[in-house]
């Protein structure tokens, strides 16, 4: 017969209390994870009072900086929104994914996710209000997985009681489009605008700068409203606040360019006292630690206690670092709207190094959207009227292969030290740093975009570039040799015009184009390429090289084929070249004008490039 078990009632009560209290305690631990909010403005460098700008009027951001951490050296990895945000939202360089060209929408591998998805899976309520611009495909499912809400009405207030949230609020108040029209009386005096030395002080330039600073003040009020709301909701002591811009800007030679003016951004982070333990106590209120957007996703995940996926290329910058060295800030420039170009940069310490792989192209390529700012045509007109000094004129001329700047003594990056023998060691160190990063990150930006367009129809560029079809070291060697303009390299370039890899052939032909008449020994092989090469992008650049070798009719025949191609990026490439030929391509003008007139409301990059060619060919630009 079984014995009856005596139940100690006091023990049961203790056990139940322990179970319930333990559950509540665990729930409290989970719910006391920090809320995190990103306040993201557009197109602005550190034009804030807290960064020492005396022309600025930014009381709310100045107050936020006084309460938080101001980062002196924060950088976007791309100087334009879509590639920059592509890096920011994934923790992977756009130059690694194939998303560095503006609004290209190429396929990205499924395993690369939008980082808020990991927060959401960990119990966070995720909100995006409301810009996306992630520059990748497919994005719809990624969006659904990443955000609980993504719209102009999105709000963290819809979360469950006690649920932590991550919210990304975006403001377009300072976007470049806000200086395209004159709508309100100016609050800042144009005559007092701190115009940089590379800009002429035209009335339009003064107005654009003053109007832009007005927008920065309005953006500051937007920040203040959101911070006030956090206070009223009783959330300020539970919320880590980030404020930053999506890249530098906004006037010509800032946004879209790899200078401090295009990449240096404001970054202020306020961490409430209760979460101070999450941050390295060595981080100072005014911090000179170098960070870039590649680090933002892992930083947020670590603050939330969420594991960082191994494919992410950055690392957290707020937690204890154990004395590890900071990561240099790398940057990339690909196609900007319809303007084809390719440059890379690294900022390490006080130096910025830039390598231009298409130095024959002028800085000031015509980009239709950029020219909507009244300051741009005024700057261009002043140049053609001979009214500029050497620094202001440089924008309208071709680029050097290499640029090196001391950003402490030369914050505007106007004194190129690359040719100064006193900086030989620095130059070599920066070269090596950039080379190593390009290899380590598997930089895919050297694939001609017409090829990218074709690759993306069947697979991701990320995955394709990890095959033997993308011999990166050989491609980088060819591209650097091409861009250097070194006359001794022509023999190697001629050999590589016959290479079995189309990307190598492309850069070898680019080298011939850059050398102009000095590449005469390559004429026969270039003629062979334009007649027989299977890759349209290779034929187009070979045709451009032949034009400058006197084979103008043959070159025009190939470029005409490019203009009529069914492939968008082949058309853009051909039309981009025609902009440089201008009046010498008059006989193609009726065809290009007809293409624009057939569908005048369409806003494709091919149409934009076509308008650029018409503008030059008709000589109506001044």
The parent domain of residue 602 ranges over: 451-475+494-617
Question: Is the Cβ–Cβ distance between 27 and 164 less than 8 Å?
Answer: no
Q: What share of the chain is helix, strand, coil (3-state, %, to 5)?
A: 50, 10, 40
User: Which of 24-33, 319-328, 417-426 is predicted with the least confidence, judged by mean pLDDT?
Assistant: 24-33
Tokens of 329: 């800030």
Is 267 part of any domain? Answer: yes
pLDDT band at 285; cut points 50, 70, 90: confident
- Name the domain boundary from 287, 322, 357: 322
Is 462 part of any domain? Answer: yes
Closest by CA to 125, choosing from 37, 234, 61, 206, is 37
CATH number for the domain harbouring residue 299: 3.40.720.10
Is 377 part of any domain? Answer: no
CATH number for the domain harbouring residue 504: 1.25.10.10
pLDDT band at 31; cut points 50, 70, 90: low
Question: Is the Cβ–Cβ distance between 452 and 569 less than 8 Å?
Answer: yes
What pLDDT is recorded for position 286?
85
Closest by CA to 139, choosing from 88, 93, 89, 100, is 89
- Name the domain boundary from 302, 322, 342: 322
Query: How large is the average pLDDT for residues 171-186?
Result: 94
Q: Strand pairing of 343-348 and 351-356?
A: antiparallel
How far is the C-alpha of 408 from the C-alpha of 426, rounded, in Å? 15
Q: pLDDT of 71-113, one tens digit each?
A: 999 999 999 999 999 999 999 999 999 999 999 999 999 999 9
Is 221 part of any domain? Answer: yes
Do 61 and 198 fall into the same domain? yes
How far is the C-alpha of 547 from the C-alpha of 116, rounded, in Å? 50
Q: pLDDT of 487-499, one tens digit each?
A: 889 999 999 999 9
Is 340 part of any domain? Answer: no
Tokens of 424: 């030989």
Is 612 part of any domain? Answer: yes
pLDDT band at 621; cut points 50, 70, 90: low
Q: pLDDT of 519-569, one tens digit each?
A: 999 999 999 999 999 999 999 999 999 999 999 999 999 999 999 999 999
- Name the domain boundary from 322, 350, 368: 322
Q: pLDDT of 136-150, one tens digit each?
A: 999 999 999 999 999
For 5, which DSSP code? P
Number of domains in the chain: 2
Q: pLDDT of 337-358, one tens digit each?
A: 999 999 999 999 999 999 999 9
**pTM of the predicted model, to two decimals?**
0.93
Phi-psi region of 280 (alpha: psi -120 to 50; beta: other; left: phi over 0): beta
Query: How large is the average pLDDT for residues 47-68?
Result: 98
Question: Is the Cβ–Cβ distance between 136 and 103 less than 8 Å?
Answer: no
pLDDT band at 321; cut points 50, 70, 90: low
Q: Is the pLDDT of residue 324 over 90?
A: no
| Cβ burial 407-423 (10 Å sphere, 16+ → b, else e) | beebebbbebbbeeeeb
pLDDT band at 12; cut points 50, 70, 90: very low
Q: Is 50 considered catalytic here?
A: no
Average pLDDT score, the chain: 93
Residue 504 in 3-state DSSP?
A: helix
How far is the C-alpha of 244 from the C-alpha of 302, rounded, in Å? 19
What pLDDT is recorded for position 184?
85
Q: Is the pLDDT of residue 3 over 80?
A: no
Is 393 part of any domain? Answer: no
Catalytic residue, from 50, 81, 407, 512: name it: 81
> Which value, to the nearest 10 degrees, does the dihedral of the CA atoms of residues 558, 564, 565, 570 take?
70
Question: Is the Cβ–Cβ distance between 64 and 270 less than 8 Å?
Answer: yes
Do 316 and 455 fall into the same domain? no
How far is the C-alpha of 180 from the C-alpha of 250, rounded, in Å? 11
Question: Is the Cβ–Cβ distance between 185 and 217 less than 8 Å?
Answer: no
């Amino acid at each position: 017969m079984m014995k009856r078990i005596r139940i100690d009632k006091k023990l049961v009560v203790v056990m139940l209390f322990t179970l319930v209290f333990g559950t509540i305690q665990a729930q409290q631990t989970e719910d006391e994870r920090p809320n995190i909010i990103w306040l993201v403005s557009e197109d602005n460098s550190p034009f804030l009072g807290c960064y020492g700008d005396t022309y600025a009027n930014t009381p709310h951001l100045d107050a936020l900086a006084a309460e938080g951490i101001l980062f002196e050296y924060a950088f976007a990895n791309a100087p334009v929104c879509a590639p920059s945000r592509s890096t920011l939202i994934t923790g992977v360089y756009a130059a690694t994914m194939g998303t560095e060209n503006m609004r290209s929408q190429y396929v990205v591998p499924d395993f690369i996710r939008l980082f808020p998805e990991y927060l959401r899976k960990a119990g966070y309520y995720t909100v995006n209000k409301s810009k996306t611009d992630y520059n990748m495909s497919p994005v719809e499912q990624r969006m659904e997985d990443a955000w609980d809400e993504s719209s102009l009405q999105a709000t963290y207030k819809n979360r469950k009681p006690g649920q932590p949230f991550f919210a990304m609020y975006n403001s377009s108040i300072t976007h470049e489009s806000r200086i395209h029209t004159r709508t309100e009386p100016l609050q800042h005096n144009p005559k007092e605008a701190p115009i940089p030395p590379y800009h002429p002080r035209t009335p339009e330039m003064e107005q654009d700068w003053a109007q832009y600073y007005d927008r920065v003040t309005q953006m500051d009020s937007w920040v203040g409203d959101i911070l006030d709301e956090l206070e009223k909701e009783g959330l300020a002591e539970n919320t880590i606040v980030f404020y930053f811009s999506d890249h530098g800007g906004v006037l010509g030679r800032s946004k879209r360019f790899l200078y401090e003016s295009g990449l240096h951004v404001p970054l202020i982070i306020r961490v409430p006292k209760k979460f101070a333990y999450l941050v390295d106590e060595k981080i100072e209120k005014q911090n000179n630690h170098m960070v870039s957007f590649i680090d933002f996703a892992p930083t947020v995940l670590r603050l939330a206690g969420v594991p960082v996926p191994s494919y992410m290329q950055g690392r957290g910058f707020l937690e204890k670092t154990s004395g590890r060295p900071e990561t240099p800030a790398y940057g990339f420039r690909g196609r900007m709207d319809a303007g084809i170009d390719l440059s890379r940069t690294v900022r390490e310490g006080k130096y910025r190094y830039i390598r231009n792989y298409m130095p024959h192209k002028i800085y000031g390529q015509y980009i239709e959207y950029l020219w909507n700012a009244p300051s741009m045509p005024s700057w261009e007109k002043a140049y053609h009227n001979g009214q500029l000094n050497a620094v202001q004129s440089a924008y309208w001329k071709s680029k050097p292969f290499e640029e090196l700047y001391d950003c402490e003594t030369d914050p505007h990056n106007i004194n190129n030290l690359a040719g100064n023998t006193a900086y030989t060691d620095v130059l070599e160190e920066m070269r090596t740093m950039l080379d190593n990063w390009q290899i380590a990150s598997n930089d895919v930006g050297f694939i001609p975009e017409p090829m990218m367009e074709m690759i993306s129809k069947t697979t991701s560029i990320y995955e394709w570039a990890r095959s033997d079809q993308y011999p990166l070291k050989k491609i980088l060697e060819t591209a650097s040799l091409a861009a250097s303009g070194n006359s001794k390299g022509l023999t190697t370039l001629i050999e590589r015009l016959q290479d079995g890899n189309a990307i190598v052939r492309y850069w070898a032909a680019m080298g011939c184009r850059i050398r102009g008449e000095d590449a005469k020994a390559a004429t026969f092989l270039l003629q062979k390429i334009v007649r027989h090469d299977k890759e349209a992008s290779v034929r187009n650049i070979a045709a451009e090289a032949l034009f400058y070798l006197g084979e103008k009719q043959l070159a025009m025949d190939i470029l005409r084929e490019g203009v009529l191609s069914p492939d968008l990026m082949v058309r853009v490439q051909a039309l981009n070249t025609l902009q440089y030929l201008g009046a010498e391509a008059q006989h193609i003008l009726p065809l290009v004008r007809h293409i624009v007139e057939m569908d005048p409301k369409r806003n494709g990059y091919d149409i934009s490039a076509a308008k650029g060619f018409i503008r030059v060919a008709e000589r109506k630009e001044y």
